[in-house]
Amino acid sequence: MLREGGHSNRSEFEKQQMAAKHEGNETEGASGCVPSQLPVLCPGPLVPGVSLSGPTSDSAALSAPLSADLSCMAGAAPESDSIAVTVALASSPVAPTAGSAVSVAFPGLVTREGCFHFTCEFLKHVLYQRQQLPLPYEQLACLSGRQLLGTPRQDEDVIRKVYPRGPDNNKKCQQVLGDLEKVFQHLEIMFSLTLVPRVLILLGGTAVSPKELYEINLQGLSVGGTKESLQTAACVRKLFHSLFLADVFSDLGTVPTLGVIVMVQGHRNCGIDWFRPKLNYKLPARGRKLTVNLSCRDHDGATLSSNAEVNSASNDYIWFQAPVTVKGFRYFS
């Protein structure tokens, strides 16, 4: 029926349905196939590393599985209309290592005095790298008025201009240098009395639970006389060259001034009086740890015989603790 004025009484909704049906028939007649439904993308939580493209629909099943190449569609569709969803699964985080190690192999024998110098130089290096000393040990000694042999006078003048003296700074500097000198003197006595397989440098906390632990392992060294052994200076350069290549201190953050404890392993009957024996001491299991393993090899690369006495009588070697705790300091702090 027609209303007055010649307009149809059909609603606008019915007109749209008839138009859509008419267009669908024309498409079927032209292509000979049933038009495909719009692809429906499977909904789900946003996952990092997942790239989604195409329209979404709330009617998709929530339990639709994800795969490496996933096409989520409500019906059969031409290949060109498919939607590919690429899922890049993030790799599981790698747990940080409990500690790191640096190995240094000397091409020959070393002296017992050389072992003492390796330990002292490594201790100085750790203190400066971990901000417990404002300057390297030798420069700090020059600044405090303790002129070392072989240090040019002009270097001392430059240091004094950069770090002017003050009553508090001078007192702290004298204290830390005095404590370190005591440690060095008695370490030299210790190395002369007994074989020293290992030395620990503990930063912060206590001897049982330090914040950082630095170990120099001397068990792989073979001790010889002065004539047949390598020069100590060349071995020290090789040690620091290996530490420089390993770059073990670059990823560490700034730490406050801490107390530094030195532990030395030696024979229980060595006769040392200054160090205090710790019969039941065990290496701490917590805290950051760096181990420097020193060894000796011949020209063919074969490992020289290590200290057989230490390996066969390990129960006779105990830990000794220095009675002095070196306290780090900084200028203007």
Q: Report whether pLDDT(103) > 60.
A: yes
Residue ranges of the alpha helices (H) in the chain?
12-31, 112-129, 137-143, 153-162, 167-193, 232-246, 308-312
SS3 155: helix
What are the tens digits of pLDDT across the range 197-244?
999 999 998 999 999 999 999 999 999 999 999 999 999 999 999 999
Q: What was the pLDDT predicted at 44?
A: 46
Q: How far apart are CA 167 and CA 175, in angstroms?
A: 12
Given the DSSP bridges, would you call strands 276-278 and 317-321 parallel, antiparallel or unpaired? antiparallel
Q: Both tokens of residue 156?
A: 């001392």
Q: What was the pLDDT predicted at 90?
A: 37
The residue length of the chain stands at 333
Q: What was the pLDDT predicted at 75?
A: 45
Between 226 and 23, the more confident residue is 226
Q: What was the pLDDT predicted at 286?
A: 84
What are the tens digits of pLDDT across the range 86-102?
433 333 333 334 578 99
Q: Which residues contact 131 (CB under 8 A, 6 or more apart)?
A: 254, 255, 257, 328, 330
What are the tens digits of pLDDT across the range 259-315?
999 999 999 999 999 999 999 999 998 888 999 999 998 765 566 655 555 655 678
Annotate 184-196 with three-state secondary structure. Answer: HHHHHHHHHHCCC
